[in-house]
Structure formats: structure tokens, C-alpha cells
Structure 1
Amino acid sequence: MNEFDDIRPYYDSEVPDVLARLAIDREFIDTLMSIKYRRLGRWMPWLMRPLISRVLRKAFAKIDNVRDFQEAVGTSMANLLRNIGTEVTVSGLEKLDPDSAYLYISNHRDIAMDPAFVNFVLYHNGRDTVRIAIGDNLLTKDFTSDLMRINKSFIVKRSPVGRREKLTALVQLSRYIRFSLLEERASVWIAQREGRAKDGVDKTEKALLKMLSLSKTKEQSFAEAIRELKVVPVAISYELDPLDEAKAKELYTRQTAGAYEKEAHEDLLSIYQGIVGRKGSVHVTFGDPLDGSIDTPEAMAEAVDRQIIGNYHLQPTNLIAFQKLEGDSPQLAHWKAQHPCDWARKTRAFEGRILAMPEAYRDIVLNMYANPVRSKLKLGLV
């Protein structure tokens, strides 16, 4: 057994067996039924299950490898984005060598769509897609693990509780990321933090950066080990967050009750809502590879944050929310001038979205959208 077999993405040779397993997986079929055919599934599950299984087998028969699977996913994603009116734009990619493998570290707003949008813009610009780091806390079902690993995801073990077990898992993860980049020449995506930035404040966790250095040789300095990985910060901005109200509910509950208990399979529902919900415009900005002289996790975290915050493409909703909370300013007027749109219509639509939420959540959501503006101002990135 290879040292990475329990966390790596599936190989092409494994794809047919994985798809055959998914086509008859009862929980996967029931999940699809509850999403797409809820009423029929309740009335006639005995009929719907074999029909869904047959549809899956027919669709999977056209897929022989990981690339086939990702192309099918990409086609479905393009159709979905068109149907929900999402426009995806990208900048900065032209600065990166298409033949190099990079470690992309991005801000984290959506469980599935952050890496999906990175892959989407890479694929449509003729670049290879990335291997995606995903926490095992999200893989509560066997079929979710299969779906993620067939889509070039690798597993971040967050379940170990003992100190030794945690360190072993972190070293394995660090070694796999380095192996992917340096030996297999495959780019990797990882979020800058564990868990989404539900409050809209993007900040890199130093623990993540320390993990990346666990696989360095004894002779290497931190700077040398990180330089090899070709780290590129990536900023992803959404005009609308399909889960803004759900995030506000969690933040409000933590503020008032001191803790928030997730419901069973809440993450799976968040993944689904994040995929199908309206997002408005989405922009992905690729930064510059980090300076090779960065010699501490603290300095690296600052460098990543500065690029992510500086490159974050402010959306009209960010500016409207900031204006409502902080008032007008010359800098705000400058940013608004960069968006040639019907501001009155945008403002009415956003105000309607906020007013449709429970009153207790409204300021939380406004701050969520306004915080990227505050982050830029705080660092003087205007």
C-alpha cells in the first residue's frame, strides 16, 4: 500500500469501479431523489430508486477516467451557471506559467464552489485542473468521499484526536502536497483557513503554513521549503452568497447562545445550496508567486493575506453594504465608479434581499458583505 492511498484522489484505473459502486449506492440514490424528485420519492421510492440507478449507469457508461468525469461536471456547471445568471471572470492567470505546478491558497467562502470556480477558470483557459484539499468532516457518507476523490480531491484528516495521531496526519498531508507539486507536477488548491470565513474577514491560519513545512528536509530552511511549492494566493469574490442567511443564523446563535450545533448532514445541504444558489457575478484573481525570501509562517501569512485582500474584486454588494453601515467616502465613490451598472437597481435588489431575512440577522449579513471593504482600508490597499 502506498503511503498516500487513504487520502489521495482516485487513479484513472479506479474510475469504472467507483462509478459502478455509486450507481447502486442506496444513500447516494436517496440523496438525489430527495433533491430532484422529492414528491415522487416519497410516494413511490420503490419505483424511483431503480430508475435513478439506471439513469446513473447510462451516464457513467460514457466516463472512463478522471478527465472524462471532470469534463462532464464542467459541462453541467456551465449549464447551471448560465441558468442561474452567474457571470465568471478571471484576472492574473496570464502571469503564471501554464507548464508549472502551483500551490494555490485562496480565501474560503463556499465549501464546494471555491475550488470549483478555480478549476472552472483554469479549464476554460486551457490549464490543468487542481487537486483539491477537503476535510474528512465533510465526508460523512461513503458516496461523498467517492464523488470528491474522483474529482481530484484529497483528504485532510481532521478527525484524529490524539496528539501523535494529529501530527502523523499532518505530516502525511504535508508530504502528499509536496509529492503532488514536485514529483507529479500537479497543482494543488487549499483554503487559507479551516472552515469558511462566515463573517467575510479573510485571514490565513499560520497552522496551515506550518503544516506545509513539515515535509521539508532537515537541511532546508522554512524559506527554501516554501519556495519549492510555488505558492500563489488566490482571491475569490461573490456578488451574492447563497448561504448568507444561513451563515448569519450560525453567527447569531453563537453570539446569543455561545455555541452552534450543526444539524445532521448540514454540510451536505450547504454544499448543495452553495452549488445551485444565485451568486450574481463571481471573480477569481490569481496573485503573484510568493517571494522566496519569506522565512517564517507569520511573514508568509501576512504576505498571503495582503495579496488576497488586495486582489479581492469588490462587488457592488460589498460597496452597498459598506455605504449603509459607514456612509459615503471619496474612496467608496472611486470604487463605485469602477462598476458601470444601474446602482439604484442594484441597491433596491440588495435591500430587498436583506429585508427578507429575520431582523436579527440583517446587520450580521451587512457586515459580512462590508468586511472585504474594511479589510482593504485597514491595510491601506486602496
Structure 2
Amino acid sequence: MEHSTKFDQIRPFNDDEVHEALKQSVNHPIIKALLNFTFPDKDLEKVKEIVLSCHSIRDFQTKIIYNSVKNIIERTSEGFTHSGFEKLSPYTAYLFISNHRDIILDTSLLNVALYENNLVMTASAIGDNLVNKPFLLALSRLNRNFLIRRGLTPREMLGSSKLVSEYINNLLFKENRSVWIAQREGRTKDGNDRTQQGVLKMLALANTENSVMQYFKKLKIVPVSISYEFDPTDVLKMPELMAKHYDQEYVKSSNEDFNTILKGATGQKGRMNITAGRVIDAELDDIENSGEPANKQFQMLADIIDEKIYENYKLWPSKYIAYDLLNKTERFSDKYTEKEKRQFERRIERRVDTENEVALQNFLAMYANPVVNKLKYDKSKI
């Protein structure tokens, strides 16, 4: 079977490449560890049999990854809920734009919600810096990730952005494949979720319509809100937040991203929720008819996506506690119990030098910012 080579440097495996890739990966020590975690009650030969029965990405996602994620939910959380997906249509490709906290888990949970609602599962964007080991690249391609290239010159960046934009267009309109992309480049470390105009401008590069907003209407943009009660990688985000606070350059250690992936998967997360909003539609006509210049129109759309993400963002007790501790108030004391507050204070003491006011403030802000933003957009829901 011949494939277009245009997207080869960024695309996931095609279905006819899956079986061979699995044969080559199944004995890798880390893949073995993943399989052992996924099927703890089966011996390795039986597990290999299941793996080698996969002949498409859907096979791999539903037989292997779905079970892995269900095990992660079972062992490292107090439960996972999803809502809003029942309002979406089967056999329909959507562009999901969400806030982004966890490198792997965000899209994994989204695909669990899609699978359980009989909806089209996503191809998902991932930075190529996160898959710089061959087995990670293979795993991401098996899980229908496509690559966003990082660390490019401005000129290379434009070419890369055009290619990604065209690939997303191809997925949605030719392959009828849903797509996930984060609202900004990289994860939000400080809990202050904002949609970047740059992401929207990249998506628009493939537009051949007369109007950008009518093109966005065709993309069927669904804002998605992902919220964890506790972030198992919170302490790992602190050095970068501290460097930012002191206006210092932050340089990642060589294994930092990989450690974050592992900690995100294995660390305790409390309760987790993912909620899909409705497709952004009539709002795009309003933006187009506003008469505002193009840049302002992109910002108006970014603001609408932000508003929808916060509207559906699940505020757990930890967020309210952090807000009250940060602001030395009891404004939200009806949203949590004394026991929950004590538990959260113990979490802080285990993770931060509480004598260091800057570290403490940064840690609390990471949890409190979703409350601040929800207040800004949606006072009635608090």
C-alpha cells in the first residue's frame, strides 16, 4: 500500500505499519514494564499474544492503551468522570482544544471518554522533544500522536507550522479523524490556562476559504476542560516556576520530561474530570461580523475558548483551599472540610520549604489560579 510521503516526518504509524512496529518494540524493557502494568494477572507470553493480535492503531489503543489508562485511573486516582461527550455526534471529526497539565494523561483520558461514548478517537499533537528516545517515538506513533517540531529558527517554524496545519486539515476533512491540540505550546506550569493566538494562527494556515472564521466553523472546535484534584508533578514544576519568578533562564535536565511522564502516570491524582463543551459555532459569525482587524478577531476567539474551558473546569476542594491560603481569607470555606484543608497543608509541607515565601506563593498559585480565572469569567458558577 502506497502512502503520501508529505507528512512522513510528523505522522503516526499507518495501520499497515503497526504490527511490524509492535514486533520490534514488544521486547523493549520499558514497553515490557508498561505491558506488565497493563496486564498484571497475565504471563508475558499471553501478553505478547494480545500485543501481536493488534493490526491497527485502533486495535492497539483499545486492547492495550485503554487498559493501561483504566489501570492508572484505578491505582492512582479517586475516580475519573467525564461529561459533555454524550452531546457530540458519532462518526464526526472534531478539533478538541484543551488546557494542558499532563504530557501523556490529558489525551489518554480524552480518548477514554471518546471511546466510552462511541465517538471518533483523536490524533494528538506532541512536541518532538518529548519523544527523543526511539521507543518513546514508536510508542507515540502507535498511539496516534503527530509531532510538533520544537527549537526551530523562525523560518523553519513557519514551514513546520504550515505542514502541521495542513496535516490537521487532512485528518479532519479527508480521514474523518478527530484531533487534539493544547491551547498553548507546552503544559501550563502555573495553573493559569490561556489560549495562545499563535496556536489559532497555526491552525488557520491551511485555510483556503474567504474567511478565517468560517474555516474555524468547519473545523468544529470543541473546548475541553481537564482538571485533576492533585497534580502529581506539582513539585517537578517548581524549579521552572522559581526561575521564572526571579527572571532567570531555566534549563531542563536531560531526563526531566521522561521523569515527568512517569510521575504523571504513577503519582496520586485524587479525583479527575474531563468535560467537553459544545462546538463553537454562532460565536464565529459574531466575531466575523464585528468588523475588528484580524489580530483582534484571533484574540476574541482565544477569549471564547478560555471562557468555555473555565465554564466547564471542575474546581476541586484543593483549588479553593489554595485560593484561601494564598489570599489569607475564608471566602470559600464552605467548599471544603477542615480535614481536606489539613490534608492539603500536609501536601504543601511535604513538597515546599514553607519558610520560603516565594516558593510557597508559587505552589499555592498553581492550584489557586483556576479559581481566579473562573471568577473572572463565570462568577455565577463559583
**By how many angstroms is 1:95 displaced?**
2.1
Do the aligned partners of residues 256 and 223 (structure 1) sit closer, same or farther apart at CA in structure 2, a change above 3 Å counting?
closer
In the alignment, which of 80, 89, 92 is matched to residue 97 of structure 1?
A: 89
Contact kept? 2:227, 2:272, Cα under 8 Å: yes
CA distance in 1, matches of 2:8, 2:94: 22
- Tell me if 1:254 matches 2:266: no
Pairing of 1:273-352 with structure 2 (within 5 A): 273-290=263-280, 291-293=283-285, 294-295=287-288, 296-326=297-327, 327-329=329-331, 332=332, 336=335, 343-352=337-346
The corresponding residue for 1:47 is none
**By how many angstroms is 1:74 displaced?**
0.8
Do the aligned partners of residues 139 and 286 (structure 1) sit closer, same or farther apart at CA in structure 2, a change above 3 Å counting?
same
The corresponding residue for 1:373 is 371
**Where do 4+ consecutive residues of structure 1 move more than 6 Å?**
30-34, 52-56
Compute the TM-score of the two structures, normalised by the length of structure 2: 0.87
The corresponding residue for 1:82 is 74
**By how many angstroms is 1:97 displaced?**
1.6
Q: SS of the residue aligned with 1:292?
A: helix
Counterpart code for 1:16 = H
For structure 1, the 5+ residue unaligned runs are 38-51, 337-341
Do the aligned partners of residues 91 and 333 (structure 1) sit closer, same or farther apart at CA in structure 2, a change above 3 Å counting?
farther
Contact kept? 1:108, 1:197, Cα under 8 Å: yes
**By how many angstroms is 1:257 displaced?**
6.7
Contact kept? 2:311, 2:378, Cα under 8 Å: no
CA distance in 1, matches of 2:118, 2:45: 34
**By how many angstroms is 1:344 displaced?**
2.3
Compute the TM-score of the two structures, normalised by the length of structure 1: 0.87
Q: Over the residues paired in the alignment, what is the CA RMSD in angstroms?
A: 2.4
CA distance in 2, matches of 1:86, 1:10: 34
**By how many angstroms is 1:250 displaced?**
2.0
CA distance in 1, matches of 2:378, 2:15: 47
Counterpart code for 2:186 = G
The corresponding residue for 1:238 is 228
CA distance in 2, matches of 1:230, 1:112: 24
The corresponding residue for 2:118 is 126
CA distance in 1, matches of 2:258, 2:9: 22
The corresponding residue for 1:2 is 5
**By how many angstroms is 1:307 displaced?**
0.6
The corresponding residue for 2:29 is 29
CA distance in 2, matches of 1:132, 1:266: 21
Contact kept? 2:102, 2:264, Cα under 8 Å: yes
Contact kept? 2:184, 2:199, Cα under 8 Å: yes
Counterpart code for 1:75 = N
Q: Which moved more, 1:351-360 or 1:104-113?
A: 351-360
Counterpart code for 2:7 = F
CA distance in 1, matches of 2:361, 2:32: 35
CA distance in 2, matches of 1:381, 1:221: 34
CA distance in 2, matches of 1:86, 1:15: 34
**By how many angstroms is 1:175 displaced?**
0.6
**By how many angstroms is 1:83 displaced?**
1.8
CA distance in 2, matches of 1:227, 1:175: 16
**By how many angstroms is 1:267 displaced?**
0.5
CA distance in 2, matches of 1:221, 1:8: 28
In the alignment, which of 340, 347, 352 is matched to residue 353 of structure 1?
A: 347
The corresponding residue for 2:20 is 17
The corresponding residue for 1:362 is 360
CA distance in 1, matches of 2:6, 2:13: 14
Do the aligned partners of residues 33 and 236 (structure 1) sit closer, same or farther apart at CA in structure 2, a change above 3 Å counting?
closer
Contact kept? 1:355, 1:362, Cα under 8 Å: no
The corresponding residue for 1:266 is 256
Contact kept? 1:20, 1:57, Cα under 8 Å: no
Q: Deviations over 1:89-120 (max 9, x none)?
A: 11222222223211000001111111111111
For structure 2, the 5+ residue unaligned runs are 38-42, 289-296
